Amino acid sequence: MNYQSLAHIAHRLRLQKASASELIAQAIERFESSESSVHAYKHWAGPQAAKQAEAVDVFLSAGHDLGPLMGIPVSVKDLFGVPRMPVFAGTDTAFDESWQTAGPLVQSVIAQLGIITGKTHTVEFAFGGLGTNPHWGAPVNPWSAKGAPRAAGGSSSGAGVSLAQGSALVALGTDTAGSVRIPAALTGQCALKTTHGRWSSTGIVPLSPSLDTPGLLCRTVEDLAYAFAALDGQERGQIAPQDLAGLRIGVIQNVVWDEIDPAIAANTEAALSTLERKGALVSRVTLPGVDAVLEIFRQGGLAASELRSFMNSNCPERIARLDPMVRARVEAADQISSTEYLRRRDVLANSGRDALSVFDQCDVLVSPTVAISAPLLSEVADDAAYRTANMLTLRNTAIANLFGWSALTLPSGLDGNGIPSGLQLIAPPMQETRLLAMALGVEAAVGRAPDLLGRPPLLSSAT
């Protein structure tokens, strides 16, 4: 099916030129034709979604409009509480039913009669950037060559796959160090990391309460802006694209280009050249404080200690059963003293505040979203290879989390393995509306994902 924006679909639903039942039937068809190949969902709710779609059509035919997401298929990461859907948080056992209580973000989707298609796979407790999970298996990147499955990116690993698959048009995820932007970048989608505290994390199994942020994945920036406006209590109305003429783009020079895949570097530079031709003022900037915060991140950051604390209080019996890659970091947190933990918090807070001075010389920062191509799943079965790839995958995106800023990714092309690469845009805290406006201008120049990338190979034979 040719790309139609969320705004266009919503308009057609209200004119009764399309129906929610038709949308969900298409979503179910795409799920059934490809799920065995790409493995997006921990819990599929197609039958319930079909029944809800029938009710939505009745409401729409009677002229009742409950919100912009009414009738839109939405997948939800398996950290969020959703009524009558189990929460595993990537672990080997479901949490008790109290965790199924919807928090504010899911409540907003439900109140608008957005249709939740199911719960998508996640790295255990969202603690990893590659998307692997030894309990339930890793979602497969739809851009993989047949017989050579590659990582879909994490931790919201099933979220990006659900959009590529067509079983959802909006995906809810979380982002502690890149967990919506990485899977979006590697599967050819767009994603927004909100500023910590802008959206409530209530009703979401935590990894690191100091850094966890709910986030969105959509097929295009245009859709991201639509979904953000639908869910954000502060934003009202349509977000207009910002003219690129005179837009000051600061290209981060330190760290983010280290060990980068040459094709990803070339895609990034090509996108920057396009933006410059459209009138953007592109300069190279050094981002202060990056080395200090990344060193803390490599040592476990805040997440290891905070997840250990959560598990000690809520589910200590699960620690021994954790994914070995997660368990090693959780157990290592015992070596982090309270003094060291507080020092890390202070360094991150001070570094993020001090580094804001970079925005005196630019409106938005840009970097490659992920420096490396999605690895083959067979390559990261080895512990040492996993750790290396995981850190390189997370490095560029983690900077925005560690500084407490907002960030977004959109596709920049295909790399040498035929896997999508991403262009990351970073803005100061609480500047999501302006960030989306700038990203809309960038998308108009470099091209929307469906037009830029084409169709994923593993889905090319699907309906």
pTM flag (> 0.95): yes
Which CATH number goes with the domain that contains 308? 3.90.1300.10
- Which tens digits make up the pLDDT trace of 444-462? 999 999 999 999 999 986 5
Which residue, among 200, 213, 101, 100, has the nearest Cα to 156 in the 3D structure? Answer: 213
Looking at residue 463, its pLDDT comes to 47
Looking at residue 462, its pLDDT comes to 54
Looking at residue 247, its pLDDT comes to 98
For residue 274, is it within any domain? yes
For residue 99, is it within any domain? yes
Looking at residue 1, its pLDDT comes to 46
For residue 298, is it within any domain? yes
Please say whether the beta carbons of 69 and 114 come within 8 A.
Answer: yes
Please say whether the beta carbons of 48 and 23 come within 8 A.
Answer: no
To the nearest 10°, the Cα dihedral for 289, 291, 293, 295?
-160
| Count: domains in the chain | 1
Rounded Cα distance between 353 and 337, Å, is 25
Residues involved in catalysis: 77, 155, 179
Q: Which amino acid is at 93?
A: T
Rounded Cα distance between 180 and 172, Å, is 9
Looking at residue 461, its pLDDT comes to 64
For residue 434, is it within any domain? yes
Cis-peptide into 21, omega within 30 deg:
no
For residue 18, is it within any domain? yes
What separation in angstroms does the CA of 131 have from each of 1, 43, 134, 206, 286? 28, 17, 10, 17, 30
Could you state, in chain order, the average pLDDT of each consecutive group of 10 residues for the chain (463 residues)?
Answer: 90 98 98 98 98 98 97 98 98 98 98 98 98 98 97 98 98 98 98 98 98 98 98 85 98 98 98 98 98 97 98 97 96 96 98 98 98 98 96 98 98 98 98 98 97 94 55
For residue 384, is it within any domain? yes
For residue 393, is it within any domain? yes
Domain coverage including residue 410: 6-459
Please say whether the beta carbons of 207 and 307 come within 8 A.
Answer: yes
For residue 1, is it within any domain? no
